[in-house]
Amino acid sequence: MTTVLGQNQYGKAENRVVRITRDGDTHHIKDLNVSVALSGDMDDVHYSGSNANVLPTDTTKNTVFAFAKEYGIESAEQFGIHLARHFVTSQEPIKRARIRVEEYSWERIDTSEDNSRFIGSDEVRHSFVRKGQETRTAQITFDGQRWEVLTGLKDLTVLNSTSSEFWGYVKDKYTTLKEDYDRILATDVTAWWRHNWTSDEERMPNWERSYAQARKHILQAFAETYSLSLQQTLYQMGSRVINSRPEIDEIRFSLPNKHHFLVDLEPFDLKNDREVYFAADRPYGLIEATVLRDGAQARIPFDMTNL
């Protein structure tokens, strides 16, 4: 039986790099998990074991840390761009680089009021607590000519305690779910969005502002949509981002429906007036879809939301 080598890549995954920027007594922190994947003229290493075209994965790890010092970390996207450009332009056998980044957010410890007794005023500028919200994500791909930048987030948990209904659905002999005209709607948002910037570095988006604004529009749409289905809410979230951010052409969501069921308190002679719920973690409904700018083509892989 004859075999041939298919698509392949290699690199160093999950390089945890923390960069502290000291602006006098005020410190700033960037905390990233960076994965590097390289591809190109790699047939020989698979067929014969020749490493002549192989840049060691240990070298890619070292590059991540060196670049954190040399370039700093302005944003997850910009840091990925520096790395991808370096690997493709410095190593002739490498034709394509893909950099994936997770960013973990920190915020300054609040030392106001009673806490000020324990932490001096000069310490607040370099004391941090890890944010318990979403993880920011990014994927940067470069082939020597064109860029593809995907930005995203995961584990952004949101809940509306009202303004959501679910009724009028198909019913068969296995249907037991009752129609609901005032329910809790909750989900963990995972999203990726694609920027239409591909080459002109003078017109590169402001990555930090773009992320903050896209996140804001996702949250605003979730809060302001009177929802008759999670699908409707998803579409409104995506539409708000596309219509508000001209640099974004496509956004893909994966939204698990975090079910909340009213607890039956009648056996205890208690009336449950939509006050006490059971939060079921599984099984759960899973709603996934892509929202596109009119005329744009879908390019975000379906399984990106599982990363």
Return all residues near 127 (Cβ < 8 A) that are at least 6 apart. 108, 109, 111, 119
Question: Active-site positions?
Answer: 12, 57, 259
pLDDT at 116 over 50: no
pLDDT, residue 114, reads 56
pLDDT at 121 over 70: no
pLDDT at 154 over 50: yes
pLDDT, residue 129, reads 82
- Mean pLDDT, the chain, rounded, equals 93
> What are the binding residues for O2?
57, 257
> What are the binding residues for urate?
57-58, 166, 183, 231, 257
Total Cβ atoms within 10 A of residue 58:
9
* Mean pLDDT, rounded, for 133-154: 97
Tens of pLDDT, residues 183-233? 999 999 999 999 999 998 889 999 999 999 999 999 999 999 999 999 999
pLDDT, residue 200, reads 87
> What are the binding residues?
57-58, 166, 183, 231, 257
What 8-state DSSP symbol labels residue 305? Answer: G
Task: Looking at 190-251, list the stretches that DSSP marks H as alpha helix, in order from N- to C-terminal side.
Answer: 207-224, 230-244
Task: Please give the structure tokens belonging to residue 108.
Answer: 């300054």
pLDDT at 118 over 50: no
Tell me the pLDDT band of 271, cut-offs 50, 70 and 90: very high
Q: Which structural domains are found in the chain, ordered by start?
A: 8-145 (3.10.270.10), 152-307 (3.10.270.10)
Q: Write the DSSP string, 80-141.
A: HHHHHHHHHHH-TTEEEEEEEEEEE-EEE----GGGGGTS-TTTGGG-EEE--SPEEEEEEE
* Mean pLDDT, rounded, for 129-142: 92
